[in-house]
Structure 1
């Protein structure tokens, strides 16, 4: 077999092993080191060392030691160590644990229940008011945490039972929670975009600026769908009855917003604004955000030693997973490229003689399908780098491609049969709520994601307007 054929076999073995359920990070490292040993092995050098030992009259033990030193003196081990060090010292990735810590602290500060109650009162005259309040709460909370499972689970415990008690249609309410919980991987400050920036080399501040309007567009489409559906069919989202809790004066409502909505919103906008306007690097802004999360939890009297321990533990666990995925992916991709696998894929795709728009659609279909068995982190770190070298050939901006990928990854959480948002919600939903009903509720929101992607294809200015306005072309 030639080296390129071995590289293709290496990729096939990787896909087969992850389908069997092996840990992805360690599978990448094992295949990278294993095939890398073959790629970088220098048999001639090993024999020269051994022959020199014989010529020098070395004894048997020295000859064996010389042979073994040549056997283990392989550049793949240097590459693996260097890749590990590069990942752990990457300035961009430093922001990941800090943003995660901010999100976990906010999640455990009992802010969300107060926020949802306030927004529900503020939106009481809008059709589907509880669904609208749940969507806005999900968007704000998902933006602060960036962790889909945490948002869907928490909102599933808080808002989902409230909507069911108000006689909301089960599928409709399920779709609202599942779709709203995924917005955090798109709307800045998104951890997914930080990982994409580290993978692609695109400026994270330009990515944040480019993702802001598409994120708001998608959230807006969700709200328009919810309000329109509730207005056309009031039975699926009945208007809640007036109670003493919802009958508040304008001043009382303003005070509720000041004490629940504005603190979290100001924290997020401060972090995002500091990054977008160049006042701080993403890592510095994330550090300030983590401190702000602690102060917010303290102000709400929700910061306990146990919650702090849980936040630190979850942050370390998730950060380690992301970093070791990077180590494995970069080792794997370096060996894959060295063997000529990247060139094989490049030659195959460029030989198809397709237009840039067809390439974009094919790439998004592949990412859409990968979203069924894989998490977004695995797709961004492992498979997106396969597409990145092809972008210059088709004249596609990596910034634009990254925003489309971020939008597309929303679908991976909403598309049956592997819609992870649906499984998160099913895990904490009442027993009578069937998984089929949750899947059914996700479908219209999946349509909104596809509509948002189509609008960005047609109007790329939605992505470029803010980056060009703030940073120039």
Structure 2
């Protein structure tokens, strides 16, 4: 029987792990509990690669080696298992996982992505590689709404791969865009990976979401830039759409009125409304005109609101308040009070002796403070009292919009002018499609992320809002049926149970590993190498990258992050920054042959003539872009750390 290449690779990797464990035990002068802990780690990885359930493998191995560490004391072993399970159950952050997953499954089952992809590829029809660009943008939006790599890659393989192949796109470009875009859900918030990492490493999920925002946009932008450049240089790889594929049907009233689709929309609608007749109701024309002018109304509303904020006058309380600590309010002129109005309390206890006759004495007022406050007080008394109209208000006449407000207004005016110049009747139909597909999802995502990032809600509360928003979107699109709701609830329960059991197994395994001294042994080994911060980060990321071939990201986070995170303080690495690097790295592992999970998700729904080797070949350029993104994030950490530092000083 012929064995596939990926199976050979798995067998070889398992053999290397087992051989390394045997060599480690053989070379050790004394086999300690720490060596047994490392042996447990190797056995867990081999068992998972053989196909055993990850959560129960972690629990079983953890309990067995804990029993050995406690010298076969079953009571202590069971106590440790109960305490580890209870610690996971008491973690409030994990409540957000089923809610975010439920939101994603509702959006997926409601078929909202099909309309989104159609409207985006028509809106980007004149961009080189428009179908691939629309696929990446759709994947980014869908990944933000779901965060589940398998669901995004599978659904986009069904929606986007056939149109791209029919349009003449190469298999490599099509497969690379779908798999790379589908993996964006690992990084772009609300990512389940970031929640799991935050709960494992003890890092704020809110700060992780804020930190991952710009790296996610940077990675998606690099993907789109690559597709546009390749499509421009090699049109055969991503040919432009034909006129038939860019065709946008006009509504029946416009067809009846013999309206040219390339005519400008706003003047044409105004002319139709004035003229009337021709079978076009004025109410329908007014509605279309309102949709066309929607960006203008939005811009005016934002400009007025920002004007009110920028010119708002803060009231200043001029009422005399209580005296500050150490001050004495003047009660009137007094010859005995010092010039500055401060009276020193009579001294008690030790006092300076009086100066003798003929001795040197300080000049009068030399020991007193400078008299500027007295002059200020005198001028304040001689000044006329403030008028009642201006009492409590300062700077009324000087408040005017800032230069940034005028600049924003100019940019908005230019953008609106360009919008009205290019808006014809065909583009108006595309804009209406975007209003019903792209913007509702965008508002839902921004509401969820904005409430988290700006501290208006915890991740759990925002996840509840997102789940309710997905539910309402499915109702609004008339796609919510009992069967779809049942499927969403079932899949959510299945995914959430998997994650929670993984956490319980990971907690037991980590406790056993620490109890055996494995963590201490690893720390001594790493510190004994005398690595610099850069060398440690490179070594850790290489290990995570290799582990991403045979293991899922959940297994990598819950098994290996408890080993890496305690080492970060020794090298001065921020756990938040390390988590962003890990999230970017695991996307690379998802796209790297021979065990690239995204490739197998796509192969399951691809046409028969699309081979795994073609999918792997399409992944390689996007994997190189991900490596570039990791390098950029390391060289410029502010890409990920600037927003958390601004929002959470």
Residue among 533, 551, 557 paired with 1:380? 557
- Where does structure 1 differ by over 2 angstroms across 4 or more consecutive aligned residues? 243-251
Aligned length: 443
CA–CA separation in structure 1 for the residues paired with 2:619 and 2:437 = 29
Determine the structure 1 residue equivalent to 2:492. Answer: 315
Q: Deviation digits for residues 371-428 of structure 1, max 9, x if unmatched? A: 0001111101111211001000000000000000000010121111111111111111
Determine the structure 1 residue equivalent to 2:132. Answer: 131
CA–CA separation in structure 2 for the residues paired with 1:277 and 1:270 = 10
Determine the structure 2 residue equivalent to 1:89. Answer: 90
- C-alpha deviation, 1:38, in angstroms: 2.1
Q: Deviation digits for residues 285-341 of structure 1, max 9, x if unmatched? A: 000100000000111111111111111111111111111111111111111111111
Determine the structure 2 residue equivalent to 1:75. Answer: 76
1:167 partner SS: coil
CA–CA separation in structure 2 for the residues paired with 1:170 and 1:9 = 43
CA–CA separation in structure 2 for the residues paired with 1:204 and 1:222 = 26
Determine the structure 2 residue equivalent to 1:34. Answer: 64
Determine the structure 2 residue equivalent to 1:205. Answer: 206
Structure 1 alignment gaps of length 5 or more:
43-70
Determine the structure 2 residue equivalent to 1:119. Answer: 120
2:591 partner SS: coil
**1:471 paired to 2:640:** no
CA–CA separation in structure 1 for the residues paired with 2:539 and 2:59 = 28
**1:263 paired to 2:266:** no
CA–CA separation in structure 2 for the residues paired with 1:2 and 1:303 = 59
Determine the structure 2 residue equivalent to 1:435. Answer: 612
Determine the structure 2 residue equivalent to 1:164. Answer: 165
Q: What is the correspondence of 1:48-447 to structure 2 with a 5 Å cutoff?
A: 72=74, 74-243=75-244, 244-245=247-248, 249-447=426-624
- C-alpha deviation, 1:12, in angstroms: 2.3
CA–CA separation in structure 1 for the residues paired with 2:153 and 2:33 = 45
Determine the structure 2 residue equivalent to 1:9. Answer: 39
CA–CA separation in structure 2 for the residues paired with 1:16 and 1:437 = 29
CA–CA separation in structure 2 for the residues paired with 1:15 and 1:297 = 41
CA–CA separation in structure 1 for the residues paired with 2:443 and 2:560 = 36
- C-alpha deviation, 1:245, in angstroms: 2.4
CA–CA separation in structure 1 for the residues paired with 2:549 and 2:89 = 29
CA–CA separation in structure 2 for the residues paired with 1:322 and 1:299 = 31
- C-alpha deviation, 1:2, in angstroms: 2.3
CA–CA separation in structure 1 for the residues paired with 2:601 and 2:49 = 21
CA–CA separation in structure 2 for the residues paired with 1:427 and 1:20 = 21
CA–CA separation in structure 2 for the residues paired with 1:413 and 1:349 = 27
CA–CA separation in structure 2 for the residues paired with 1:5 and 1:443 = 38
Q: Normalising by structure 2, what TM-score? A: 0.67
CA–CA separation in structure 2 for the residues paired with 1:423 and 1:7 = 33
Determine the structure 1 residue equivalent to 2:349. Answer: none
CA–CA separation in structure 2 for the residues paired with 1:200 and 1:254 = 44
Q: Normalising by structure 1, what TM-score? A: 0.92
- C-alpha deviation, 1:452, in angstroms: 0.3
- C-alpha deviation, 1:252, in angstroms: 1.8
CA–CA separation in structure 2 for the residues paired with 1:9 and 1:415 = 27
Determine the structure 2 residue equivalent to 1:20. Answer: 50
CA–CA separation in structure 2 for the residues paired with 1:316 and 1:198 = 20
CA–CA separation in structure 2 for the residues paired with 1:371 and 1:446 = 13
CA–CA separation in structure 2 for the residues paired with 1:14 and 1:24 = 8
1:455 partner SS: helix
2:57 partner SS: helix
CA–CA separation in structure 2 for the residues paired with 1:318 and 1:203 = 23
2:521 partner SS: helix
2:240 partner SS: coil
CA–CA separation in structure 1 for the residues paired with 2:89 and 2:488 = 21
Q: Deviation digits for residues 133-191 of structure 1, max 9, x if unmatched? A: 01000010011100101100000000110000111111111100000000011001111
CA–CA separation in structure 1 for the residues paired with 2:90 and 2:481 = 31
Identify the structure with the greater helix proportion: 1
